[in-house]
Structure 1
Amino acid sequence: MTLTARDVATSVFGAYRLARLDPAGLQFIDRTPEGALKSFYAAVLVLPAYALLLAIRLADQGIEAPLMQVVLVEGIAYVVNWTAFPLALHRVAALLDRSGRWSGAVAANNWAAVVQMGAYLPAVVLSKIGLLPAGLGSALVFGVMLAMMAYQWFVLRTALEVNGPTAAGLVMLDLFLSALIGDFADNLL
């Protein structure tokens, strides 16, 4: 299972096309079971930005846990977060009679995370460095979060070929799992 730079570029381009609400973006993403497995390399691409966001969040919360504890707890939470939704989606896809589209949905959703982070990180940094008034910075971050959820909705609706409310439910499931995992990890610090 080799992943080349070309594979990554093609997959991220497909995710970018999906962000432009172009369903043809799926054609650029390997939607086979092997492609779904390879798509978890997106977690490696997103990791540096996630680490920066985590540092910002922990500083804002005033958490002063030992560095090794933070790395261990948040590292495990990161892996669990990247795997929880695909596992839940596997079961939901079976219930929706969409098992054959599961690997494509996982691959598209994982590569979409790279595009999402490309929008979210700058919004958070702009909000935190003080170039924008506090209210405007918060509104920017909130708006980007809403756009990210709408984007994920489109990706899941397109990749699974489900209706809008079903895709919205899946986005809410992912949000719930992420919040649950994040809160559990934060309580360990």
Structure 2
Amino acid sequence: MFPTASYAFRALYGVWLIACRRTESVSYFDISVDGFWKSFLAALLVLPANVIITFVGLYAISETNYGIFAALRDLLIYGITWLLYPLLVLNFFAFLGSKDRALAYLIPYNWASVPLGYMFAVATVLNNFLSIVPFLGIFLLTTVYAVAICLFFEIARQGLKVSRLSAIGVVVFDFIFSISLMSVLGSIKSQI
């Protein structure tokens, strides 16, 4: 069954509670295999923010040859980046016999991308179009990155039920994995 709007709002409120470090946040998520697949609705909800970020980037480099093929290629890359990390984490924890902990981490992780994606979109737009105030855009982007790191830290700490040091390790791994994946996919993209 496709998740309803109230289901999505409930999950997004759960993300807010995680950001506020409230332990009852877990009750706002459907921590199950079905809830895991439903959490990928977040990919659809945040897609417009990614489109905005892409077009602002294209505008910044004065790209004029962006057609349907390039858009489909970017959409494929978007899907790969959305699926690879969660499936890697889920299989790793299933191998360890802790699939429930992985679900309690990945479901809020997916939903957190919605507010963070729109925060990045706003910061990207302001960074590229507010040249009146020097460094304001860079400050906003840096702030959004800091918020993302703190939120992903709290999601890892609460969802995986690990120490702060372990949660830091999870966030560092996530960022290194994401940057590496985007780099590899970007180099493949430039070859196509």
Partner of 1:105: 105
Contact 1:77 1:181 in 2 (8 A): no
TM-score under structure 2 length normalisation: 0.88
Which range moved further: 177-186 or 20-29? Answer: 177-186
Partner of 2:129: 129
Deviation at 1:108, TM superposition (A): 0.7
Aligned partner of residue 21 in structure 2, secondary structure: coil
Which range moved further: 43-52 or 71-80? Answer: 71-80
Percent identity between the two aligned chains: 24
Deviation at 1:23, TM superposition (A): 2.6
- Please list the CA deviations of residues 80-105 of structure 1 after superposition, one character each: whole Å capped at 9, or x if unmatched: 11111112212443466532211221
Partner of 2:40: 40
TM-score under structure 1 length normalisation: 0.89
Q: 1:116 to 1:66 in 2, by over 3 A?
A: closer
Aligned partner of residue 133 in structure 1, secondary structure: coil
Write the letter of the residue equivalent to 1:157.
R
Q: Give me the CA root mean square deviation.
A: 2.0
Partner of 2:157: 157
State how far apart, in whole Å, the 1-side matches of 2:180 and 2:98 are.
Answer: 26
Contact 1:17 1:25 in 2 (8 A): yes
Deviation at 1:36, TM superposition (A): 0.8
Unaligned runs of 5+ in 1: none
Unaligned runs of 5+ in 2: none
Write the letter of the residue equivalent to 2:102.
W
Partner of 2:73: 73
Contact 1:156 1:167 in 2 (8 A): yes
Deviation at 1:41, TM superposition (A): 0.5
1:171 aligns with 2:163: no
